[in-house]
Structure 1
C-alpha cells in the first residue's frame, strides 16, 4: 500500500482518482489547490503525487518548481491536464516530473503510470550511491599516436578516450570511459557524454539537439532525464 497525494481543483476528478486508487489498496490524500498540497507535503513526503497543471491559485508547474527549488521534490510526481501543450508537459518533465497524463485519464494508463512511479521510488530508496561519472581526462600526447604507438599503450589499460565527434580544433572534449563497466553502464556513460557534448555546442537548444541527434523532442527530454543530464545547467555553463 502506498500513500498517494492527489492534487486537482475539480472535485469530480479528485473523487474518481481517489476511488480507483483506493480500490487498488492505496491510502489517498486529497488537495484541491496548491496551498493544500504544500500543507500536505509539509506533513511528510507521500510515496507519489498526482498533480494537476491548471489550478486557480498556483499552477502545478509552478508548485513543482517550488518543491524542486526547496529540495522537497523527493517523491515521484505525475502531472495531469486536459489543456496543457506539449511544451508545458516537456517543461514539467525537465523540472522533475516523472510522467504526464492527459485528461480524461484512462484507468489502465493511470494504474500503469502509478505503478511505474511507485517502482521508481522503491528503486531510488534501495539503490546504492551512484558511481561517479567518468572523469574528464587529458588527451594522449599527439606524438604518441603519430609515432605509431598502439592505441592500448596510449590509453590507460581497460579505458578508452572518446573525443566529441565532429568537434573542431580546440573544442573537442576527451573523456575517460572504462571498458570494465557492465555494457549498460558503459552505454549510459557514453550517451551522457554524447548528449552533453551536443547540448554544449548548441547552447542548450533542445530543438537543434533533436535535429542533430535525430530524436523527437519528447523522446529526447525523456532520454536526458533518464541519463540525469540537465539542459538548463549546460546552457548556463556555456554562456
Structure 2
C-alpha cells in the first residue's frame, strides 16, 4: 500500500479522506496548509499527494509550481477544488498535476483516481527470466517434468502464503457452523487476494461496503490481519 499526503485547510475534508484511504490500507499523512505540506514532503516523499487549490496562505497551484521548479515533483499530484474552472485545471496539468477532482468528491471518483495515479507511478516489473532447455532461471532448478500433453499446475507447486482457494471443510457439524466456516474462509481469501482493499472485495463478492463490513464483523474476520497477509 502507499503513503498518501492529503493537503486541505478544511478539517472535515482531511478527516473524511483519511478515513476512506485508511480503509483501503494506505498510510495517510495530513497537512492543513502549504507550510505543513512542505515539511511532510521534506520528511519523506509520499507516493501520492491530494492537494487542495484554495488555501489561506499559499494556494495549491503555487505550491505545485514550487515543487515542480525545485525538482521535487517526484510523485503524482491530484488537485482538488470546489470552485475550480477549466483554466485552473489546465494550469494545474501544465505544471505537473496528474488529475483534477471537483468537490464534493464522490467515493468512486476518488478511489479510481488514486488507483490510476499509483499504477502510473509504480515501478515496472523486471523482465521474466528466460527458460532454456527445460531449465528455469535464475535459480537454475530443473523445470518440473510432465508427460507430453499433460498440464502442470504451477500454483500448486508453490508454498502458500495466505488463505487458499481450495479449502477442506469439516462437514460433520451443524449447518450454521459449516456455513460460517465457509464464509469466513471465503472472505479471508478475497481480502488477502485484494491486499485488504474493501472496495475491490466488495466488487468481487457483489456486496455493498456497509453490508460487507457488517458481514466481516459478524463472522469475526480480522480485517487488519487479512491486510497484512495480503
Q: Which residue pairs with 1:85 in the alignment?
A: 85
Structure 1 stretches lacking a partner, 5+ long: 129-239
CA drift at 1:126: 2.6
Runs of 4+ in structure 1 off by over 3 angstroms are: none
* Matched position secondary structure for 1:126: coil
Q: Which residue pairs with 2:124 in the alignment?
A: 126
Q: Please identify the structure whose Cα radius of gyration is greater.
A: 2
TM-score by length of 2: 0.54
CA drift at 1:91: 0.2
CA drift at 1:23: 0.3
* Matched position secondary structure for 1:75: coil
Whole-Å separation in 2 of the counterparts to 1:93 and 1:127: 27
Question: What are the Cα deviations for residues 69-121 of structure 1, in whole angstroms up to 9, with x where unaligned?
Answer: 00000000000000011101110001100000000000000000000000011
Whole-Å separation in 2 of the counterparts to 1:38 and 1:85: 25
Whole-Å separation in 1 of the counterparts to 2:89 and 2:38: 21
Question: What are the Cα deviations for residues 204-234 of structure 1, in whole angstroms up to 9, with x where unaligned?
Answer: xxxxxxxxxxxxxxxxxxxxxxxxxxxxxxx
Q: Please say if 1:47 is aligned against 2:23.
A: no
Whole-Å separation in 1 of the counterparts to 2:55 and 2:84: 12
CA drift at 1:127: 8.0
**Could you say which structure has the greater relative contact order, defined with CA pairs below 8 angstroms and 6 or more residues apart?**
2
Q: Which residue pairs with 2:191 in the alignment?
A: none
Whole-Å separation in 2 of the counterparts to 1:28 and 1:127: 25
Whole-Å separation in 2 of the counterparts to 1:39 and 1:65: 16
RMSD value over aligned CA atoms?
1.2
Structure 2 stretches lacking a partner, 5+ long: 127-230
Superposed, 1:1-239 pairs within 5 Å as 1-122=1-122, 125-126=123-124
Whole-Å separation in 1 of the counterparts to 2:26 and 2:62: 27
Whole-Å separation in 2 of the counterparts to 1:48 and 1:15: 17
* Matched position secondary structure for 1:56: coil
Whole-Å separation in 2 of the counterparts to 1:64 and 1:7: 12
Whole-Å separation in 1 of the counterparts to 2:102 and 2:110: 10
